[in-house]
């Protein structure tokens, strides 16, 4: 259901103050209402029980309060929980709770669909419908945190922007969402526990540096030379590896924040000894803390396959012998299409 009423969560303090003054109410209402919106996670005005019925009714008459709703959930045999969320205008988007002993991680989406068409990613075969608003991204985190508390008795420890969409093509909303997630009057989560993953938008990576962001950055590299990367990630044609290396160095110089490289292994495509040596060269040029080597998760739309275990171990040994800090990341939630690259609104 769509409405032409202004979204109350998109108003800042001064705009809310002006509103309450205009209806003859006090400024302290701003604090009360913002607490309901951002800390108590009210999704209806009638839930704001310390406001009078008349005021709640007036707010409902003057504003909308669109909120993400859980449309469906699936639980994996490994404890991973995938949620399909429904937006106020009827779109679907997915988020994942990834639990381990040490961590409870929310993998969140930033766009409905994606425009980048990465050949190995299920979301890349969907059209981009629109960007998620910052309050919708915030809702994803809130709803996944509630799942974590309900199922595991613990709050989220980490957030990764590795779901549907390219976060840096929704730059403003992603940064606003992170500001709210880390704000004292929001979820008050340390930005150091938040990682934004990008397919590689060099200009936006530099802007992150200029904006002095405090969160971590991950680059989805997945191939260590331009020819191969062009063939699986069309964005590389306008953001080649050299441009990305330069942008990452600039980002690190401006912020000192942790950088991770992500590299999915594809059988007979990027898993050779030569590929490992080329990846080592890139690692030497970038102030990266770590390379995450990720096992490929098959999708219906693509014909890639994962290398056998011997090939994976050989690749890892070459990196290790070159003193590359690399970690093999086993995917979770594969049985419910919740693993890396599999999000496509299936339930």
Active-site annotation holds for 94:
yes
Distance of CA 89 to the CA centre of its chain: 21
Terminal-to-terminal C-alpha distance of the chain: 22
Backbone angles phi, psi at 23, to 5 degrees: -105, 10
Beta strands in the chain (DSSP E): 69-75, 81-86, 92-99, 104-107, 111-112, 130-131, 158-161, 194-198, 216-220, 259-265, 290-295, 326-329
The answer to whether 292 and 327 have CB atoms below 8 angstroms apart is yes
- Contacts of 273-279 with C-beta under 8 Å, sequence gap 24+, read 273/314, 273/318, 275/223, 275/224, 275/228, 275/315, 276/315, 276/318, 276/319, 276/322, 277/318, 277/322, 278/224, 278/225, 279/221, 279/224, 279/319, 279/324
Catalytic residue (one of 35, 46, 94, 102): 94
The answer to whether 214 and 192 have CB atoms below 8 angstroms apart is yes
- Burial (Cβ within 10 Å: 0-12, 13-18, ≥19) of residue 26: exposed
Catalytic residue (one of 107, 114, 118, 340): 340
Active-site annotation holds for 340:
yes
Tokens found for residue 136: 């919708």
Between CA 131 and CA 161 the distance in angstroms is: 14
Return the number of other C-beta atoms located less than 10 Å from residue 114's C-beta.
25
Q: Among all residues, which ones are annotated catalytic?
A: 94, 340
């Amino acid at each position: 259901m769509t409405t032409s009423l202004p979204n109350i969560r998109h108003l800042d303090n001064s705009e809310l103050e002006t509103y309450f003054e205009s209806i003859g109410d006090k400024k302290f209402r701003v604090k009360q209402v913002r607490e309901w919106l951002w800390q108590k996670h009210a999704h209806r005005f009638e839930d704001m029980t310390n406001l009078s019925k008349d005021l709640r009714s007036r707010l409902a008459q003057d504003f909308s309060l669109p909120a993400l709703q859980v449309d469906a959930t699936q639980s994996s045999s490994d404890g991973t929980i995938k949620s399909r969320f429904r937006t106020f205008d009827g779109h679907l988007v997915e988020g994942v709770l990834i639990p381990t002993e040490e961590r409870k991680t929310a993998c969140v989406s930033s766009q409905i669909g994606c425009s980048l068409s990465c050949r190995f990613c299920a979301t890349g075969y969907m059209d981009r419908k629109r960007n998620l608003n910052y309050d919708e991204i915030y809702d994803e985190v809130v709803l996944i945190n509630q799942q974590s508390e309900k199922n595991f008795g613990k709050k989220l420890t980490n957030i990764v922007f590795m779901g549907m969409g390219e976060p840096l093509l929704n730059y403003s909303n992603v940064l606003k969402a992170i500001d709210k997630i880390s704000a004292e009057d929001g979820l008050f989560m340390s930005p150091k526990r938040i990682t934004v993953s990008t397919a590689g938008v060099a200009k936006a990576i530099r802007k992150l540096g200029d904006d002095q962001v405090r969160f971590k950055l991950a680059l989805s590299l997945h191939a260590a030379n331009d020819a191969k990367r062009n063939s699986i990630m069309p964005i590389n044609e306008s953001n080649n590896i050299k441009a990305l290396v330069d942008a990452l160095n600039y980002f690190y110089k401006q912020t000192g924040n942790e950088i991770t490289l992500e590299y999915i292994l594809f059988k007979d495509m990027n898993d050779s000894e030569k590929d490992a040596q080329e990846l080592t060269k890139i690692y030497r040029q970038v102030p990266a803390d770590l390379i995450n080597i990720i096992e490929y998760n098959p999708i219906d739309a693509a014909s890639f396959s994962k290398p056998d275990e011997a090939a994976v171990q050989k690749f890892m040994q070459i990196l290790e012998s070159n003193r590359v800090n690399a970690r093999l990341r086993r995917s979770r939630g594969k049985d419910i299409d919740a693993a890396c690259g599999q999000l496509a609104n299936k339930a």
